Amino acid sequence: MISKTGLYVIRALSALAKLPPGAWMGTATLAQEIDAPVNYLGKLLHILARERVILSQKGLRGGVRLARPPQQISLYEALEPFENFGRWTDCLLGKPTCPDPDPCVLNKKWAPIRDRVLHFLQNTTAANLVDNGR
């Protein structure tokens, strides 16, 4: 349900959520820790910085860190630029609109599942990814 890119984002959030406040982690170190290709991870981090999920600082003592405390960053916020959850409300059959009063069988079955997944992503934070420091 979540792409490989999304899984890298979740792993990166988890690693960054473990950092002490104010600490930075180098991109190469982060890539090694989450087993991600460093160049690909760099592109993902650039997008997360643009979306203000993380901060990025160049230089010897630079790197990346979360832009806010991990309790304030939801998985939905971090994953949305990559997963485009907005398309989940589109008609699965490709019709321009879905008639809400009488939706098709696909929408009847998909809507409750979609809503539960979105609720989970909106209510799970980067802090929830850290389990006793592991």
Which tokens sit at 113? 């599942």
CATH topology of domain 4-129: Arc Repressor Mutant, subunit A (1.10.10)
Q: Which candidate, 120, 130, 57, 73, places its Cα nearest to that of 112?
A: 120
Beta carbons of 36 and 11 less than 8 angstroms apart: yes
Mean pLDDT, residues 87-94 taken together:
78
How would DSSP label each residue in 18-81? Answer: TSPTT--B-HHHHHHHHT--HHHHHHHHHHHHHTTSEEEE-STT-EEEESS-GGG-BHHHHHHH
Whole-prediction pTM:
0.87
The per-residue pLDDT for range 17-69, each reduced to its tens digit, is 999 999 999 999 999 999 999 999 999 999 999 999 999 998 888 899 999 99
Residue spans per domain, the chain: 4-129
Pairing of strands 54-57, 63-66: antiparallel
pLDDT score, position 64: 97
Residue identified by tokens 């809400």 is 100
